[in-house]
Amino acid sequence: MSASVRGPQLWAGLLQRQLTLAAVALLAAVGAVAGAATRDSQPSGPLPKSVPAPGGGWYSALAGPTRRPTGRRSACGHLITALSVGVAHPVLPCDVKVFIRYGKKTVLTQVIDRGPYVPGKEFELTGELAKLLGVHGTQPIHWRYAG
């Protein structure tokens, strides 16, 4: 085989290898994003106990559903989707688990974002969490840490 024929074949082989590596990298990235989204939305293991506020009760706060868009990464690094269940709080650490109580419903959730950035609210609830609790508009809620 002459050198002039091997040159195009060599380049074709290199191009095919690069495309294969790019496809593998793309599949790995898609798998990592899918795994992170699944991990954020599925609790595992037994539920922790709630830790009473000083005096044995619950903390009180004003909370309401968020108006921020879905499909974005939060300040805590979580992918926020329409099915995300969590709260935004300006001071509590990211990923800290808390119980939120509204009326007769109590839900274990976690801090997944910073906020709220709306005056009059201490917690901002994801749409799915607000739906689970039945919160419409800004409402007084009770909360306590999960232990």
What would the pLDDT profile of 103-112 be if each residue is shown by its tens digit?
999 999 999 9
Instruction: Output the DSSP codes for 14-45.
Output: HHHHHHHHHHHHHHHHHHHHHHHHHHHH---S
| Token pair of 85 as six digits | 């269940």
What would the pLDDT profile of 35-59 be if each residue is shown by its tens digit?
444 344 445 678 888 898 988 899 9
Given a cut of 50, whether residue 21 has pLDDT beyond it is yes
3-state secondary structure of 12: helix
pTM (predicted TM-score): 0.68
